[in-house]
Amino acid sequence: MKIVVIKGSPRKKGSSNMLAEQFIKGAAENGHRIVELDAAHMSIHPCLGCSSCGMNGECAIKDDNSHIRDELLSADMAVFVTPVYYFGMSAQLKMVIDRFYSYTIKLSSKHLKTALITAAWDSDDEVMLYIKEHYKKLCRYMNFTDMGMVLGKGCGTPSMTAVSRHMEEAYILGRSV
């Protein structure tokens, strides 16, 4: 499979990217081809809501998002990687998802496999509730098949993440796809 990993943290060596690396290690061991896209360090702008694309045409904005679009439209699986920011995904990742708008029909007809990898400081039961529900709804709307979620509670810093059970969990998810 071609697996596109979309990273949404401004911290290149941060917790969510550490978990993503574990996933990638496992998936690569299974022989999958991994394409990593660091959306947080690409030039991507928010959707203008101009509807010139009609949800199935050219986006009016010319930026690095066209690269993400091309990679996703030739992928078998996408992995969404993000820190938890105020109980949701980062703005960096949300911009990529909002920009699905111009190719929603094409992307949803691909029936992509997907996964979610997150990191948050808190470790209470509620911290992942809203990001998880958002992701699940996105999967239903976009005809994605969820292959698994790594909900990295208590992963507030790289040192916290390094000793968390979520590192192994991410690796096992990678091995399972």
Q: Which residues bind ligand FMN (CB under 6 A)?
A: 9, 11, 14-17, 83-87, 119-122, 127, 155-156
Residue 154, helix vs strand vs coil: coil
Q: Of the candidates 129, 142, 58, which has an alpha carbon nearest to the alpha carbon of residue 97?
A: 142
2 vs 11 by CB, closer to ligand FMN: 11
Q: Which is nearer to ligand FMN, 59 or 81 (CB)?
A: 81
**173 contacts 115 by C-beta, under 8 angstroms:** yes
- In whole angstroms, the minimum distance from the beta carbon of 116 to ligand FMN comes to 13
- Helix or strand holding residue 19 (H, E): helix 15-29
On the 0-12 / 13-18 / 19+ scale of CB atoms within 10 A, 32 is middle
CA dist 145 and 79 (Å) reads 11
What is the nearest approach in angstroms of ligand FMN to the Cβ of residue 155?
5
Query: C-beta of 21: minimal distance to ligand FMN in Å?
Result: 11
CB of 41 to ligand FMN, least distance (A): 12
Residue 101 or 174: which CB sits closer to ligand FMN? 174
Name the DSSP class of 88: B
Beta bridge partners of 5: 36, 79
The residue number with the shortest CB distance to ligand FMN is 14
103 versus 171: smaller Cβ distance to ligand FMN: 171
